[in-house]
Amino acid sequence: MNFQRHPLPQAIDSIAHLRLFVEHHVFAVWDFMLLLKALQQHLAPSGAPWAPPPHPRIAGLINSLVAEEECDCLPDHLGGPLHLSHFAIYRRAMEEIDADTSVIDAVLVQAMAGDLHGSVCHPSIPDAARRFLRTTQDLIRAGEVDALAAAFTYGRELIVPDLFRSLLARLRLINLPCPTLCWYLERHIELDGDIHGPLAEQMVEALIGCDPMARDRVERVRSRVIDDRHCFWDAVQAQLANPVAV
């Protein structure tokens, strides 16, 4: 499924539209970190007593991804050099265009208080984003590492460059004043398209091995997460066409 052809980016034609988009999409940014940290717990555990990871190369990939996501450097022209997580950079991009951060802030407060389950069901989360989060939480609870890796690879790393290229091209075409968001999109296109995507596919194949049940499970998850992403974008596009309070 080619997300460069999804009509959602073409539906964005004003700063108000972009605000609505990021107020939905910030939950996908958070969801990405929830999934990545769940993978890290399985593949590169840091608890005591320490034991050698079963897949050292995969552990290295996951740890490097976490390091990049949790501590990147915002460049000078955007107020840097400033070390921030990609999530914090995205939230900064929301503030730059006066998008509403109150819902994601409230959700994070609840999650950090120890109520992750309640936070992903927060009533103020847009319905489309809440459905998207639910799939990830289902997979995390099931605890099948090959399924988590498939969700990460096929629902994020391999499609994010297409998603973001299309959106970035639209923002440049209509010349919206959102430099931090554009930098965020460029950064993920660079990292995911050139480096992370191919390595993530190798991770899935290594975890599947010769297990036909694992391969079947991965294919089911692959179909589910791609459909979920498409439904998420469909729902946001519908909101742009018929904006209501979210």
Give me the CATH number covering residue 196: 1.20.910.10
Q: Which 3 state secondary structure label does DSSP give 122?
A: coil
Q: State both tokens at 240.
A: 């742009």
* Domain membership flag for residue 2: no
Question: How many domains are there within the chain?
Answer: 1
Strands 72-74 and 82-84: antiparallel
Rounded Cα gap, residues 18 and 171, in angstroms: 9
pTM for the full predicted model: 0.93
Residue 203 belongs to what domain range?
8-47+55-241
- Domain presence at residue 246: no
62 within domain boundaries: yes
* Assigned domain for 77 exists: yes
How far apart are alpha carbons 180 and 170 in whole angstroms? 15
For residue 15, tell me if it sits in a domain.
yes
pLDDT in tens, the chain (246 residues): 556 678 999 999 999 999 999 999 999 999 999 999 999 999 988 776 888 888 888 999 899 999 999 999 999 999 989 999 999 999 999 999 999 999 999 999 999 999 999 999 999 999 999 999 999 999 999 999 999 999 999 999 998 888 899 999 999 999 999 999 999 999 999 887 667 888 899 999 999 999 999 999 999 999 999 999 999 999 999 999 886 544
Q: Give bridge partners of residue 74 from the DSSP assignment.
A: 82
**Burial bucket for residue 166 (CB in 10 Å: 0-12, 13-18, 19+):** buried
